[in-house]
Amino acid sequence: MGDMIALERRYSARNYDPLPVVLTEGEGAWVRDEAGRRYLDMLSAYSAASFGHAHPRLVAALSRQAARLAVTSRAFHNDRLPPFLARLCSITGMDRALPMNTGAEAVETAIKVSRKWAHVAKGVPDGRQRIVVCEANFHGRTSTIVGFSSEPAYRLGFGPFGPGFDRVPFGDARALEAAIGPDTAAFLVEPVQGEAGIVVPPRGYLAECAAICRRHGVLLVADEVQTGLGRTGRLLACDHEGVRPDGLILGKALGGGLLPVSAFLAREDVMGVLEPGDHGSTFGGNALAAAVGFEALDTLVEEGLPARAAMLGDRLAAGLRALASPLVREVRGLGLLAGLEIDPSRATARAVVDAMLARGVLSRDTHGTVVRLAPPLVIASEEVDWAVARIGEALAAVAATPPAPGRS
């Protein structure tokens, strides 16, 4: 087969820097590399593999539907999309859903619908609509979306960017209220910031934002691409504060770890501004994606995965805190979405991640200082304990190694 890493280095664009492991198989919370070594997947593709790898029920739904009917475009109806959308709306309490493929496309959909809603329903002149977003947000990688990112690396060289976004500090509801003006269409927010380093806002923040949005006639749009579908211990992270957003963005786990499936969901009067021809996607809502998405939602409910994430998330956090590593400044998170903040004067998060890899645990660092942990929700409690023990060994090994010069 040759050297896969060398081959990828030769032919792939250099937009990623993967850890030096070549995965070939996966089952449940475990993956295997070319040499047959097993690793516990404590990243699960940033929640896209929340159901674990090769979930038998999801693989069966995928192969059954692939042999029957997969892609016909939305020029016609198919028999799998309506039940999927009905289930998606009933489970989330939203009125209508617009299926897309990737998370970024669903975010783009939310932006377009919010702007059109502000124009049609609030009379904001077209071209003047504004959307409030948060510092350190992550909503995907299209040119519109990186245009309102506060991360220079995501923006540099990719301009010009469109206007119409106002950034406020995350976790500060008063700043949101101050940023709202007559042309504000929506507040787009992650209930827990993932990419920023698993940042959990103060208790009550989202509920306060919801009240502010309602008071000012602004849509609250929750980007739950990563936090949704059980990850944080509730079906939606919004549920922790009893918040029903006006718009909801789902993705990642919605595809059961097998396909890209995303959706923008909204209230009747919000989604109602779209008319035929306004927006679409060739692959969005295809029969194969709908069949897998439907099965993923059923599996989530029947296996009680949100409650499992709550229970195992507590176990993971308690285990990590009990390690009491001098390298770790803070353990934070919600449900099975956790971050280990590494003291940058002592080590890099990348060094910890490398040491975990050597001990059979996969994860990734974000922003240099945070080790991101988001195992499949199907992980067993003994596997959580096993991961914590290996992470403890990795932290001890890194603590015993003097930092390389110039890499602090």
Ligand X SMILES: *Cc1c(COP(=O)(O)O)cnc(C)c1O
Q: Active-site residues: which are they?
A: 138, 223, 252
CA–CA dist 219, 240 (Å, integer): 19
User: Taking the complex as a whole, how short is the minimal distance between the CB of residue 276 and ligand X, in angstroms?
Assistant: 25
**139 scored as a contact of ligand X (CB under 6 A):** yes
Question: Could you tell me if 163 and 198 are in contact, meaning their C-beta atoms sit under 8 angstroms apart?
Answer: no
Lookup: tokens for 216: 């000012």
**225 scored as a contact of ligand X (CB under 6 A):** yes
Helix (H, G, I), strand (E, B) or coil at 213: helix
**138 scored as a contact of ligand X (CB under 6 A):** yes
**223 scored as a contact of ligand X (CB under 6 A):** yes
Lookup: tokens for 192: 């827990």
User: Taking the complex as a whole, how short is the minimal distance between the CB of residue 239 and ligand X, in angstroms?
Assistant: 17
Q: Quickly count: other Cβ atoms within 10 Å of residue 149's Cβ.
A: 23
Using the 8-state DSSP alphabet, how is residue 28 labeled? B
Of 61, 104, 213, 395, the one binding ligand X (CB under 6 A) is: 104
User: Taking the complex as a whole, how short is the minimal distance between the CB of residue 139 and ligand X, in angstroms?
Assistant: 5
The interface region with ligand X, picked from 96-104, 147-155, 172-180, 281-289 by CB under 6 A, is 96-104
Q: What type of residue sits at position 331? A: V
**CB-based closest residue to ligand X:** 103
Binding mask 169-198 for ligand X (x = CB under 6 A): ---------------------x---x----
What is the secondary structure of 271-338 as a DSSP string?
Answer: HTT--TTSS--SSTT-HHHHHHHHHHHHHHHHTTHHHHHHHHHHHHHHHHHHH--TTEEEEEEETTEE
Between residue 227 and residue 266, which ones bind ligand X under the rule CB under 6 A?
A: 251
- Cβ proximity to ligand X: between 46 and 117 the closer is 46
CA–CA dist 251, 190 (Å, integer): 13
Lookup: tokens for 345: 């004067």
CA angle (244, 257, 154) in 5-degree steps: 70
- Cβ proximity to ligand X: between 223 and 383 the closer is 223
User: Taking the complex as a whole, how short is the minimal distance between the CB of residue 82 and ligand X, in angstroms?
Assistant: 24
**103 scored as a contact of ligand X (CB under 6 A):** yes
How many positions of this chain bind ligand X (CB under 6 A)? 14
- Cβ proximity to ligand X: between 106 and 384 the closer is 106
The interface region with ligand X, picked from 103-111, 112-120, 289-297, 301-309 by CB under 6 A, is 103-111
The residues that bridge with 130 in the sheet, in sequence order, are 184
Give residues in contact with ligand X (CB under 6 A). 46, 102-104, 107, 138-140, 190, 194, 223, 225-226, 251
